[in-house]
């Protein structure tokens, strides 16, 4: 029996460390065991990521002062042409369309993405379509486009710099914490989690869009319930590119919260589906989640408890628990 246990452990170790046999397929992946996983970039191209790759300490040092990150402002006056807001430069704000009396929405992209990645204009245009708001897109592409392991290590610093920027902005140009909504996708979900904690959990809402899973299980720097007044996550690729366990006040599991999502024809489409579903909730606000007794019910979409709308832009939204629902396969789902 002891020999059998050793052999099984060896097989598991070898399987976890092996390069996946099927290209662009993550069905092999086991969190905390597998060494390799396929991840998409902002254009949908897939890259094989080594989760044991050494961290580039030099790159981390060069990004810790936040100078490589940019905050792009979009409003109804400039819906597609960005204005760059610079921490410490009040004229960059005074010369922009930022208005302190508007609600402020902050959007943060994930790994191998940038400020121009499709999710950013998609969500920005949705917010501006329904409300007169300041939308700030954080571009942290210099770090986000390095090795995944290095980007993971740098997430807390990116989040702290974002949080400190918002403190400076509100203190010097005006703003209301009760009208602040932080939204992050994948690694960006953990960025806004850190930003929210940096500002003392004062953001009215924090939304994680399929928060990144690899290297984030039991990670104290992950998005959590202390990141804002109301914290919500939408899980679409759990146990693969996204976290499956509930980490927020309210955790939504559309279509079981895992791959494949309806209409997804490529293995990693499900991860990005969270951004599309969220944009649809802002514009149409019609996805009703039903509270689940446990994760198994959520995965089966067999929940029948109390109702809570998924996503949307409502800053006064409150709710708690695990919620399941089904959606369509194409926009607006």
Q: Quick one: pLDDT at residue 6?
A: 34
* pTM over the 0.85 mark: yes
* Rounded Cα–Cα distance for residues 171 and 234 (Å): 31
* 11: pLDDT strictly greater than 70: no
Percent of the chain, pLDDT > 90? 86
| Cα torsion 316, 322, 324, 327: sign | positive
* Lowest mean per-residue pLDDT among 5-9, 79-83, 166-170, 312-316: 5-9
Dump pLDDT digits (tens) for 115-138: 999 999 999 999 999 999 999 999
Phi/psi class of residue 321: alpha, beta or left (left: φ > 0; alpha: ψ in -120 to 50)? left
- Under DSSP, the state recorded for 256 is G
Q: Catalytic positions, please?
A: 186, 210, 271
* Rounded Cα–Cα distance for residues 105 and 119 (Å): 14
Query: Which residue did the predictor score with more confidence, 205 or 24?
Result: 205
Kindly report the average pLDDT of the chain as a whole number.
Answer: 93
Dump pLDDT digits (tens) for 226-258: 999 999 999 999 999 999 999 999 999 999 999
Dump pLDDT digits (tens) for 162-178: 999 999 999 999 999 99
Percent of the chain, pLDDT > 70? 95
* Rounded Cα–Cα distance for residues 33 and 35 (Å): 7
Which phi and psi (to 5°) does residue 124 adopt? -60, -50
Query: Which residue did the predictor score with more confidence, 68 or 247?
Result: 247
Which is it for strands 104-108 and 83-85: parallel, antiparallel or unpaired? unpaired
* Rounded Cα–Cα distance for residues 126 and 120 (Å): 10
Beta strands in the chain (DSSP E): 36-40, 46-50, 70-74, 83-85, 104-108, 134-139, 180-185, 205-209, 230-234, 250-254, 288-291, 307-309, 321-325
**Rounded mean pLDDT of 271-295?**
98
- CA dihedral defined by 121, 125, 126, 131, rounded to 10 degrees? 140
β-bridge partners, 246:
none
Domain 66-325 adopts which CATH fold? Rossmann fold (3.40.50)
* 10: pLDDT strictly greater than 70: no
Q: Quick one: pLDDT at residue 1?
A: 40
Query: Which residue did the predictor score with more confidence, 100 or 22?
Result: 100
Give 156-216 as a DSSP string: HHHHHHHHHHHHHHHHHH---GGGEEEEEETHHHHHHHHHHHHTTS--SEEEEES-B-TTT
| C-beta separation of 189 from 236 below 8 A | no
| C-beta separation of 68 from 62 below 8 A | yes
């Amino acid at each position: 029996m002891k020999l059998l246990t050793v052999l099984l452990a060896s097989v598991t170790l070898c399987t976890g460390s092996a390069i996946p046999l099927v290209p662009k397929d993550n069905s092999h992946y086991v969190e905390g065991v597998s060494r390799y996983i396929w991840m998409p970039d902002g254009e949908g191209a897939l890259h094989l990521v080594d989760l044991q790759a050494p961290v580039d300490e030099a790159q981390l040092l060069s990004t810790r002062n936040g100078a490589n990150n940019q905050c792009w402002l979009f409003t109804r006056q400039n819906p597609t042409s960005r204005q760059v807001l610079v921490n410490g430069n009040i004229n960059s704000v005074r010369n922009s369309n930022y208005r302190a009396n508007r609600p402020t929405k902050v959007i943060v992209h994930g790994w191998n993405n940038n400020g121009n990645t499709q999710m950013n204009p998609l969500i920005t245009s949705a917010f501006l379509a329904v409300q007169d708001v300041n939308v700030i897109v954080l571009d942290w592409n210099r770090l986000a486009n390095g090795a995944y392991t290095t980007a993971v290590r740098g997430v807390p610093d990116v989040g702290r710099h974002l949080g400190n920027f918002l403190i400076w902005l509100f203190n010097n140009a005006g703003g209301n914490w009760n009208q602040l909504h932080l939204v992050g996708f994948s690694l960006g979900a953990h960025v806004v989690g850190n930003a929210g904690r940096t500002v003392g959990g004062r953001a009215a809402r924090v939304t994680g869009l399929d928060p990144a899973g690899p290297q984030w299980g039991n990670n104290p720097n992950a998005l959590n319930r202390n990141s804002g007044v109301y914290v919500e996550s939408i899980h679409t690729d759990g146990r693969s590119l996204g976290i499956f366990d509930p980490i927020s006040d309210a955790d939504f599991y559309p279509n079981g919260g895992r791959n494949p999502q309806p209409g997804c024809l490529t293995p990693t489409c499900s991860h990005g589906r969270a951004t599309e579903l969220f944009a649809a909730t802002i514009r149409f606000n019609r996805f009703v989640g039903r509270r689940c007794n446990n994760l198994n019910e959520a995965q089966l979409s067999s929940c029948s408890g109390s109702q809570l709308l998924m996503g949307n832009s409502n800053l006064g939204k409150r709710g708690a628990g695990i919620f399941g629902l089904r959606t369509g396969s194409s926009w607006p789902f």
